[in-house]
Structure 1
């Protein structure tokens, strides 16, 4: 027992070391200049194989952090960690650039307080990612001088959460999740007159830091299907409360020459208090499964991003987001003792999303769409654990509608450890 625990602790340490080296390297995207950036999906590597499906489809061997009501399925102590990497090609009518990066995706664990009835879970993962850097030029009014303008943004919010799921009976489950959201987003704006030596470059830095709690809840229903007593029907519901998150703003004004360190710095705003409005969201899911052999399902999630408010109280020129996910998985023979291949779980899925981003294209406001297909598998490791892999290829935006188009692929890697901890040993 102690050997198993030691090996798991070693694995956690290695993951943290690798994750810390990669943290903050989210792939660049101009769209993250809006609001608080890209919202990171809660889906773990095994969920990503299904396209991100997870509101209704809980199971015994994988931790589900998308709907807290599904936690009672985890009757063993479980630890999951994941890494995401990928490449993004951003194109306009005249330019095309590629970016490659990766970062730690999640660290989560759960254990049963009362087996099959109450399970609790904690986790750490990004909440949003901001990473953009673009340059453009403008002519100074009343002169022939050309100014090069540069806008950069880095950071994002992180989340540490505690969730609990309780089985009221064998049909109905409820869950509650408390999330502590923290960290900061930093944006820099500078301009430089071209073809002039030793010219001052003014740089304005804005940094918004948040520190507050979010609340969400979930329901899950499980019953025999009306089609076949061997096929189970599951449904799930999640709701995230809209919250005014406490925030502080710092703003400075620097003067530099030829990209050297600042020769002067002035603090314009020093930790001014304010709020950032995170809007409410609702998710619905249904799925059918036959034990561990196969599962198919659908999720729908909507979030009222039209209610989002910046630190200064202005809206973010966002629209409400809507996402639909379809997916499924298949395990040829989960109990096979003669064939490892038959115990591998294979997954496929896809999603379509109206993202909250709006782009003004010659006076016409167009909402950015995101479509992608996913596939993946879980390789059994030991009695109850697994190594999870998933891949996604997708496209966000379009040159004709939103000026910019992103074609991307992502690779998700995850490990899941299941074990029986906190057992009172008996001796004859």
Structure 2
């Protein structure tokens, strides 16, 4: 009698992943934003990309990433990589953000922590590989305020944004001929984005605060695809060249608006609940054209020892429909370089088996505001900490941590400069799930 064997360590890990799945589902529907960028008010907010901590730590390279430490890895950003899977992979993680915003002589600091990713990849032997999961797509988080007066009546107007969009996906990759792989991800976007205007009177205790909340309920399907060609260079080296892209997928934004009033308060930290609804109405549905994306890159690796790579990215937001009072988006270009090294895979010393990762990325974002290009750049670092192998060497896991130290925006033309530290924490399990016992 043959039985399927799943290691006890994997069962414990599954409980961890399922617990994170419940957390992810709760936060996904709650739409808690981790963005604190004033530039997230444009488009669909701060785009998160389909990257795991391993590749974020290397500048965000992804097109040519197929192997890490000489073994196949889960690379959501290029589904062609799924064809190389030889073990079941479980990925789960969290995301943290620390931001300093500066304008003129003023600064402000913010911080947040939220769900990062949840994904599972399953090898299908000669039939390729399958992956599915849930990852953030974008989020919105901005705020600004100004004080004004009419005669002796002083009031404050504040603008803020909240919410986010999640992406559930399933993907498949296959290798039709030796060395060449193709794959695709089908995704479903869902989430709410909120744009809020609040008027509060500063010297009239009996006046009501007024809030106007416009909601964009986002729904739609996406299709991403990729190609990779991998070739051994002698006995020691391997070269992988890759391309990944995304169609200009059409999604739907269902918009509605609600105006409420609440008791006035002079305490900035007190938020009074709405006492009445003045107006509530649907604003209709609109079709949004997501950007056409292209990403081409390569990686060169030497077995378990090291890997280096680079990506060039192009995204066209020109056809994305923007509100009339906002600047239109344009084309975006980006470059990423990075790599990792493991000092000595055969060493008995733990720190010689740790993966050390480093990278750099530069992006010309699609936003031009007040005649200034809003550019984004960051230095990235990371570590991969291996855990003890279990299940007779069939199960091995790793804790991956990445940090992005970057800057977006400028102080010119009275704009906001954003300096940030993004921390990504991931837990990876590699396991052979379907092994037949040699003895009954």
Give TM-score scaled by structure 1 length. 0.91
For residues 94-123 of structure 1, the C-alpha deviation after alignment (integer angstroms, 9 at most, x for no partner) is 3110001111110011001225x5000001
For residues 304-338 of structure 1, the C-alpha deviation after alignment (integer angstroms, 9 at most, x for no partner) is 1122114x69975212111110001111233x163
CA contact 1:367–1:402 (8 Å) conserved in 2: no
1:221 is matched with which residue?
229
What is the alpha-carbon distance in structure 1 between the residues aligned to residue 412 and residue 154 of structure 2?
A: 28
* 1:385–1:2 distance in 2 versus 1, CA, 3 Å: closer
TM-fit CA distance, 1:266? 3.8
Task: Tell me, yes or no, if structure 1 residue 324 matches structure 2 residue 321.
Answer: no
TM-fit CA distance, 1:224? 3.4
Structure 1 unpaired stretches of 5+: none
Task: Tell me, yes or no, if structure 1 residue 239 matches structure 2 residue 249.
Answer: no
What is the alpha-carbon distance in structure 2 between the residues aligned to residue 126 and residue 68 of structure 1?
A: 17
Which residue of 105, 124, 127 corresponds with 1:113? Answer: 124
Higher normalized contact order (CA 8 Å, seq sep 6+, divided by chain length): 2
Greater CA drift, 151-160 or 17-26: 17-26
What is the alpha-carbon distance in structure 2 between the residues aligned to residue 293 and residue 104 of structure 1?
A: 31
Residues 393-404 of structure 1: pairs in structure 2 closer than 5 A = 393-400=405-412, 403-404=415-416
Residues 83-162 of structure 1: pairs in structure 2 closer than 5 A = 83-115=94-126, 117-140=127-150, 143=151, 145-162=153-170
* 1:165–1:91 distance in 2 versus 1, CA, 3 Å: same
Task: Tell me, yes or no, if structure 1 residue 82 matches structure 2 residue 93.
Answer: yes
2:316 is matched with which residue?
304
For residues 251-278 of structure 1, the C-alpha deviation after alignment (integer angstroms, 9 at most, x for no partner) is 1111223053333314442373222221
Task: Tell me, yes or no, if structure 1 residue 73 matches structure 2 residue 79.
Answer: no
1:373 is matched with which residue?
379
What is the alpha-carbon distance in structure 1 between the residues aligned to residue 26 and residue 292 of structure 2?
A: 33
TM-fit CA distance, 1:150? 0.8
For residues 164-208 of structure 1, the C-alpha deviation after alignment (integer angstroms, 9 at most, x for no partner) is 111122211101110000111111112234322312332111111
DSSP-derived class of the 1:135 partner: strand
Task: Tell me, yes or no, if structure 1 residue 50 matches structure 2 residue 61.
Answer: no
What is the alpha-carbon distance in structure 1 between the residues aligned to residue 55 and residue 122 of structure 2?
A: 20
What is the alpha-carbon distance in structure 2 between the residues aligned to residue 127 and residue 77 of structure 1?
A: 24
TM-fit CA distance, 1:244? 2.0
Residues 171-186 of structure 1: pairs in structure 2 closer than 5 A = 171-186=179-194
What is the alpha-carbon distance in structure 2 between the residues aligned to residue 156 and residue 381 of structure 1?
A: 34
What is the alpha-carbon distance in structure 1 between the residues aligned to residue 43 and residue 154 of structure 2?
A: 29
TM-fit CA distance, 1:424? 3.9
Give TM-score scaled by structure 2 length. 0.89
TM-fit CA distance, 1:415? 0.8
Structure 2 unpaired stretches of 5+: 1-5, 266-271, 390-395
Task: Tell me, yes or no, if structure 1 residue 15 matches structure 2 residue 13.
Answer: no
For residues 123-146 of structure 1, the C-alpha deviation after alignment (integer angstroms, 9 at most, x for no partner) is 101110111222112455xx5644
For residues 3-59 of structure 1, the C-alpha deviation after alignment (integer angstroms, 9 at most, x for no partner) is 233212222134346657877250422111112110012111111221111110211
Residues 247-396 of structure 1: pairs in structure 2 closer than 5 A = 247-258=253-264, 260-270=272-282, 272-310=284-322, 317-334=328-345, 336=346, 338-360=348-370, 365-383=371-389, 384-396=396-408
